[in-house]
Amino acid sequence: MIYKYSNCSSLNTVSIPEGVTRIENATFSGCISLASVIIPESVTYIGNNAFRGCSSIVTVSVPDGVTSVGGDAFEGTLWLEKQPTGLLYLGKVAYKHIGEMPENTEIELKDGTVQIADGAFSQCKGLVDIKLPESVTSIGGGAFANCTGLTSITFPENVINIGNTAFGGSGLTSVTIPKSVTNISVGAFYSCINLTSVTIQDGAKSIGDDAFERCYNLTSVIIPESVTSIGKFSFYGCESLTAIVIPEGVTQICFAAFSKCNSLKSISLPSSVKNIDKSAFYKCYSLIDVFCYAENVPTTEKNAFNESPISSATLYVPEGSVEKYRKSSPWSNFGSIKAIGDDSVIDNNGTDINEVNGQRSMVNGQSIYNIAGQRIGKMQRGINIINGKKTAIK
């Protein structure tokens, strides 16, 4: 690997020897006299800012075997400035769309593309459709940021990385994240104001900070049992979200994770939860029911439910734990605390629900859904919606 030549103002030509596989971050950044770069066939990785600010570069040879190019690797080079309008590929990387994109543009990435680089289509407001080949495994940070015309995308089953703010501010209306993605990165779908539904397939381990922050129209999110970590501000300001089921395995509800979810009526917390941070459910003005399956009262910041109407809400806890919650703040401030008995069903006479996400499931003549709006074929632990009524089963 090569990584020690940044700001060498006298360097004018570079021929990297065969056998080198990586050009590390900022390796040649600021080499203002560098005019020509020959990269050997052995190189597969070019790091962030590798040639950034090499203003004299006019010739670059990138081999077909390159599978990863970091953000701004060639930013500020004469070579990049002279590239023709359109999508620039570097090896197997869709590196950057050059120039202004026309309205109603549809793009199909070529087969064999492995990576969409950081910021590749950022601010391309004319992009309305993009087809990704099965070969794509990584979508870089900010790759589709502020692509307001992009309303849908189908992720290949081989994608393992969706970078920070990859779709921030885009026009997506619904998203299904494949099981191959184990981490939903920081701000990945930040401020997607048209996003209404999110399905995270089983396989994801964590939802990063700000991942769905300010998705104002998000009404449904299905979080699988594989998720064990939900970050700070992850669903902050999701004003249309009406219910959330936190899966077993999650131990902490982080700072402001569901703050300002104005329409949130029902919350289900798993038996694994141990800590609830400050403002976790701040200003959830519509809150009616909280189901907490932790037998031991989670360590909970006193302002976790600040400005949420818990004095008129009902808290359901495991049988035998009612007194523990009644003696612990802020849980003691709930208007009613009830036990969920073994194998018993509690009907809390919830508001009639005629349809959830347009889906119905009939069991013994009754419609059954989970509280996130996913059709199910039988009763499950937690909150269920049966024949339009909210129920809970232990």
Q: Please tell me the predicted confidence (pLDDT) of residue 67.
A: 98
pLDDT at 349: 37
pLDDT of 375: 56
On the question of pLDDT at 389 being above 90, the answer is no
Whether the predicted pLDDT of 277 surpasses 90: yes
pLDDT of residue 14: 87
pLDDT tens, 38-63? Answer: 999 999 999 999 999 999 999 999 99
Q: Are strands 68-69 and 105-108 parallel, antiparallel or unpaired?
A: unpaired
10 — pLDDT class (breaks 50, 70, 90): confident
pLDDT tens per residue, range 119-173:
999 999 999 999 999 999 999 999 999 999 999 999 999 999 999 999 999 999 9
Average pLDDT over all residues of the chain: 90
Summarize pLDDT for 224-256 with one digit per residue, the tens. Answer: 999 999 999 999 999 999 999 999 999 999 999
Compute the CA torsion angle 289, 361, 176, 263 (nearest 10 deg). Answer: -30
Q: Average of pLDDT values for 279-297? A: 98
116 forms bridges with which residues in the sheet? 94, 139
Both tokens of 379, joined, read 């009763």
As a whole number, mean pLDDT of residues 206-234 equals: 97
Q: Is the backbone peptide bond immediately before 133 cis, with ω within 30 degrees of 0?
A: no
For the stretch 346-352, contacts whose Cβ atoms lie closer than 8 Å and that sit 24 or more positions apart, written own/partner, are 346/316, 346/391, 346/392, 347/389, 347/390, 347/391, 348/289, 348/314, 348/390, 348/391, 348/392, 349/389, 350/266, 350/288, 350/289, 350/385, 350/389, 350/390, 351/265, 351/390, 352/388, 352/389
Whole-number pLDDT of residue 361: 35
The whole-number average pLDDT for the span 307-321 is 97
Tell me: pLDDT of 23 over 70. Answer: yes
Which pLDDT score, from 0 to 100, does residue 381 have? Answer: 57
Give me the pLDDT at residue 387, please: 61
In which band, very low, low, confident or very high, does the pLDDT at 185 lie, cut at 50, 70 and 90?
very high
**Token duo for residue 8:** 């060498």
Question: Given this model, what pLDDT does residue 84 score?
Answer: 96
**Eight-state DSSP code of residue 325:** H
Q: What is the pLDDT of residues 361-373, one digit of tens each?
A: 333 445 566 655 5
Over residues 187-214, mean pLDDT: 97
Distance CA 74, CA 80 (A): 7
Q: How far apart are CA 327 and CA 133, in angstroms?
A: 56
Q: How far apart are CA 265 and CA 270, in angstroms?
A: 17
In percent, the amount of the chain with pLDDT more than 70 equals 85
Residue 5 confidence (pLDDT): 82
- Provide the pLDDT for residue 340: 87
Q: What is the mean pLDDT of residues 249-276?
A: 98
Backbone CA torsion sign across 128, 93, 231, 272: positive
> What is the pLDDT, as a whole number, of residue 49?
96
d(CA 383, CA 376): 12
* 377, pLDDT greater than 80: no
Strands 138-139 and 86-90: unpaired
Alpha helices in the chain (DSSP H): 78-81, 322-326
| CA–CA gap between residue 328 and residue 324 (Å, rounded) | 6
Backbone φ, ψ for residue 324 (5° rounding): -60, -45
pLDDT in the model for residue 341: 60
Asked if pLDDT for residue 353 goes beyond 50, the answer is no
Q: How confident is the model at residue 352 (pLDDT cuts 50, 70, 90)?
A: very low
Query: What are the strands of the beta sheet with 36-38, ordered from one edge?
Result: 13-15, 36-38, 59-61
Tell me which residue of 288, 264, 286, 290 sits closest to 276, measured CA to CA.
290
Q: What is the pLDDT of residue 96?
A: 97
Q: Say which residue, 16 or 122, is predicted with more confidence.
A: 122
